[in-house]
Amino acid sequence: MRGINFRLIFRIISRTFIIFSISIFLCSLVGFYYKESVSPFIYSGLITLVIGVVLHHLTKQRDKNNNLNKKEAYLTVGSTWILICIAGTLPYIFSETIPYFINALFESVSGFTTTGSSILTDIEALPKSILFWRSLTHWIGGLGIIALFLLIMPSFKMGTYHLFTLESSLQEKIQPRIRSVGIRIMIIYITLTIVEIILLLIGNMNLFESVCHAFGTIATGGFSPKNTSIGGYSPYIQYVIMVFMFLSGTNFIIYYYLISRDFTKIKMNSEVKFYVSIVLGIALLITFVLYFNMGKPLETAFRESFFNVISILTCTGYATADYLQWPAFAWILIFFTMFFGGSTGSTAGGIKMARHVVFWKNIKNIFRQLVHPHAVLTVNLNGNLVKEESNRSILTFIALYMLVFAIGTIVLSFIGLDIQTAAGSAATSMAGIGPGIGTVGPASNFAHLPEAAKLVLSFLMITGRLEIYTILILFTRTFWKF
């Protein structure tokens, strides 16, 4: 096995930084429009552009082998996300809206990983250009920084499939050609964003807030330019955002099947059925609790329940109510909902619905085996047989996910967080949700946490966003053996 080709890795990072600088410069236009200082974005854009150009110049010599092996793919994805999150702190630091690096890093990581947790105590006091940048990090991260640049990767003539499959949101291919997949996913992504902006405008939300909220919804991120998140908007606005959160948590391949009129594959998709069932089951249950136990009007109970359940399930993190004020049964159920995640092939985080389907089918097979010891039982997903190797991999992932969550909770407890806050912040960070439980609930934020806790949570956010293996494998001795 050949060693790691760092020239190839830095070449990809250089191109990423060059494109990334364009998104920063774009925010200067927003600042110019609102007569705000544009220097933070000019400085930030120039720094990232210079880094990209220098790296590109140093690595422009062509190698004989331009194909990424698995090690290089893992290292490229992991390092690119980390470096982009660090670069994302520059506008916050130069504008002095978040002057301290660790706080700026937390906000940047939360944005790009589409988590939505925040250390800001007065969001509306920030310049609109910074708020736009904050929401734009969601939109970029939602599709996947690596996936965004698949369209330019063919110029490298290298095997980009490793990059594509390691970005958790886009594992299932729509067509064999990677460029075709990238184009179709981006069209779907952009179309959903534009349609939501239009519908929000119809509901009398202004253009700036419509764009920011659409970025946060389609990316299942949750950053809002308002201190009250979605709580201060009309029921119409809440229903629009609710619907688009649900759509964004759905496997994007379903939309391709809809366009192709391949309704048979949609009907056979067991993940979609499970996703809809979980949303309806949990949301209706909490609706009854809010209606009968708290005496809320039926429509209000229905709207609050469905909005917040969909927000948590899809890992968006928008809120219309402080669910910690609900009866204990309801908010405890919300906490366990954090471990579901959205559908595979969506912008949502978490364990993902498909893995839960496989997990429960394994449980069912165990009980069947007890009754019929000699039966040969298999696991099927979306009408296809799940191979034993894939089955073990899925179950191992769930076990590893829970192990990392447990370790993260313990570490945060040692740092000084109470057990409820530690568990809530670890769960919400890994799943990319935003609000948690304890002192980091929907009515609070993460500003009061110790700096060490913010660093741990930033690590958990990146680890969860890249589906654990991509980051953790970099810390193994085996990875660095040649």
**Separation of alpha carbons 427 and 417, rounded Å:** 14
Question: Are the beta carbons of 319 and 308 closer than 8 angstroms?
Answer: yes
Closest by Cα among 218, 157, 144, 23 to 470? 144
**pLDDT value of residue 186:** 80
| Share in percent of the chain as helix, strand, coil (round to 5) | 65, 0, 30
Average pLDDT, the chain: 88
**Separation of alpha carbons 399 and 238, rounded Å:** 35
**pLDDT value of residue 284:** 97
**pLDDT value of residue 164:** 37
Give yes or no for residue 232 having a pLDDT over 70: yes
380-381 vs 384-385, strand pairing mode: antiparallel
DSSP H or E segment with residue 384? strand 384-385
**pLDDT value of residue 66:** 66
pLDDT digits (tens, 9 = 90+) for 388-433: 888 888 899 999 999 999 999 999 999 999 999 999 999 999 999 9
Instruction: List alpha helices for 293-383, DSSP H.
Output: 298-313, 328-337, 353-371
Question: Average pLDDT in the 470-480 region?
Answer: 86
pLDDT digits (tens, 9 = 90+) for 243-292: 999 999 998 878 878 887 888 888 888 989 999 999 999 999 999 999 99
Q: Number of C-alpha atoms within 13 angstroms, CB side, residue 395?
A: 14
Residue with the larger pLDDT of the pair 119 and 149: 119
**pLDDT value of residue 148:** 43
pLDDT digits (tens, 9 = 90+) for 29-87: 999 999 999 999 999 999 999 999 999 998 877 666 667 777 888 888 889 899 999 99
Residue 48's identity, in one-letter code, is: T
Give yes or no for residue 154 having a pLDDT over 90: no
Q: Which residues are 380's β-sheet partners?
A: 385
**pLDDT value of residue 294:** 94
**Separation of alpha carbons 216 and 318, rounded Å:** 9
**Separation of alpha carbons 127 and 9, rounded Å:** 36
Q: Could you tell me the CA-to-CA distances from 233 to 138, 240, 269 in Å, in that order? A: 21, 11, 35
Confidence of residue 174 (pLDDT cuts 50, 70, 90): very low
**pLDDT value of residue 65:** 63
Q: Could you tell me the CA-to-CA distances from 126 to 90, 95, 121, 139 in Å, in that order? A: 15, 10, 10, 19
Question: Are the beta carbons of 204 and 211 closer than 8 angstroms?
Answer: no
**pLDDT value of residue 179:** 62
**pLDDT value of residue 404:** 96
Task: Look up residue 106 and give its two tokens.
Answer: 């937390």
pTM: 0.92
In a 3-state reduction of DSSP, which class is residue 445? Answer: coil
pLDDT above 90 covers a percentage of the chain that reads 63
Confidence of residue 311 (pLDDT cuts 50, 70, 90): very high
Question: Are the beta carbons of 13 and 60 closer than 8 angstroms?
Answer: no
Among 57-61, 94-98, 352-356, the range of highest mean pLDDT: 94-98
**pLDDT value of residue 184:** 76
pLDDT digits (tens, 9 = 90+) for 461-471: 999 988 888 88
